[in-house]
Structure 1
């Protein structure tokens, strides 16, 4: 039995089958490349669903983590630590907000956003107790807690987890008229992904986000942007909302905020919103821990230069130009996305998304399928143009379009 077969057999036997990973066993990684236990190298074109925007083992981030590991890693929020204040201040500044509430995972940040919106609705807007409503979009992906899957429309994410949490209304993504009709006097927030990642990198119609911003402002409703996947450089801007000149009331952040080193998430909003919390009303033992803050502070410093946003713009334009040629050749039905992020709908005659992902793996490129016929491309922002072109060449070969 090879090392790969042994590792996969052990995982299959002893871990719950809540994922269906490709049959590759990664042993090390650097930049945009990963190496498996047999020594084979693969170009990472997924980047941990955008958690690895800055690449594997980015030197600035690993140095920051190593330095903090030698000092203190956890205090809990029972005490202050010397990285917390700077992290909160600098993340708030990056977001153009006044306050942040740090957590660990993206799902925890979304849960925090839901709780915060409801608290704001009751204490500020005056919604009757227990009546707060949040409007969300079809095909959303905001996490997998019981509350979050309560407003999912994905049967795989939702089935068998009821009874479900009430207080949510689902409308079609991109339909401003439907959203307008759903907002009533008890609505406290509209929660949206500026680009729907898990759904296949679905783009909203032009002007949609600006329309949502105008509607929520007019109706006295919070606009919450889940930028867990789309934020922090992925689309060519710090936040995907910026492409429409939109500033939401609350950002929900995660994934890349931890630099692929540790899980870090947060919500950022005004003092009017996050200032409502009092001690004991919400918390997390590991949220805002020293190690997380040290890494996230370096992430923030890297984003301030604009270097990674510019790379995502330039390489993203190249990526979409090349993918557009594939879409015109019959092997690909459609391409969507922005920056270094693309959803590619494979013509069924060429195979399912899973089959294409497996074929690409055999050619040294790692991607992931979603919703049957779609593969997602989201390479680290540090990828070189040469490596990106090589990866695209492998896709052309697999699709018989080379």
Structure 2
């Protein structure tokens, strides 16, 4: 079956790795920047969108992270955070996403005088408004948050404690983010240990800018349940051909551990191209990792900086790497079963939205509203 872009938009999707401050609409940035007096590289929506992509495509993670200066500058108020959160949900739902975990670092939104709790309150309020707006448009979406601690700073224990206080108010997990090189996750062991003792899930960015040492620390020292990106696990895998010309993969001990225990990889192909992980979608390791049986999930990371969406990520894999409808169903189900929302809730989403949506696509009923809303 040849999938068109419209077919892909209609598919139900699950997002585990999406940064709230990396998914703003360019027009919204311009509006909010005018309100707070922040100077932008461009005040034309198309021009600003192009600037973000160009600046984020330098091939270096640290340069990539510099683009957040502008999105953070316009999200220091309650109104700005609410608007950005609401629009993120609406945009994701319009793209067919039925479950999303949005991550953001509360400590990066305090310059306007908000407290950590006020930041969380503003985001949760905006998410609720976005869910209501999506519902009115006939799209059902469940959204949870992953408050993040920045690994280059020292507030992880405080952020973790605040996250636990909001576990019944929309926070479904915790994330350790920020520049990977030079800031190992083990610096934040007290915060992570507290989360684990409270039976609260967390994920750690590892295996993006740094390699196997970062992944090993995240898993074996810090006990992460998922790997944010994780694609540098390829550093522990030797690919080659045998004397008969057959492809083979020799896995090191760490790669074997990740495979055997089906540690979910939150893979973000378009973002990885910008930071130098691969030269093209066809060469990106996501396909090889999928073929070897790793627990691969597909994610947009920062929709603004990569000019992407879940549908664009899928369409690129379909057209450049030969992915099929069955492949997308597999990664969607893998993501759903490894979400941080309660198992009972994910089981309902799978039964009511994901499975009917893919069944409709398989039957060729791509334009049926049920494939968008999940209503059988």
Normalised by the size of structure 2, how large is the TM-score?
Answer: 0.30
**Higher share of residues assigned helix:** 2
- Larger Cα-atom Rg: 1
